[in-house]
Amino acid sequence: MLYRLDDEPAVRGQLLVHPLHLTDLPDELSIASPLGTALLGLNVGGRKPFRDDSAGTRQLVTVEGIGWRLVDEPVPGRGALAPRRV
């Protein structure tokens, strides 16, 4: 997900991840976080206010781009994925 906070000139990019699947990689954003929750369901160009819990301030997020990555694709720095159990 590519997004912009408030009127910042920089676009940020992070992968929305379920909280149980988070790693220490900086490119992941929990869908349970205030920002992650605000991004859910928005289309490109969509905007939504949210409250940043760490700073206690209101911010506005704007979606600049949406992409996806297959779950079984290797992630740099994480190594190979273990086979899934069904």
Query: Token digits for 55?
Result: 């700073």
Residue ranges of the domains in the chain? 2-65
Query: Token digits for 8?
Result: 């910042």
Q: pLDDT for 28-84, tens place per residue?
A: 999 999 999 999 999 999 999 999 877 789 999 999 999 865 555 555 555 554 444
* Amino acid occupying residue 28: E
Let me know if domain 2-65 sits in CATH 3.10.50.30: yes
Whether this prediction's pTM lies above 0.85 is answered by no
Helix (H) or strand (E) holding 48: strand 47-52
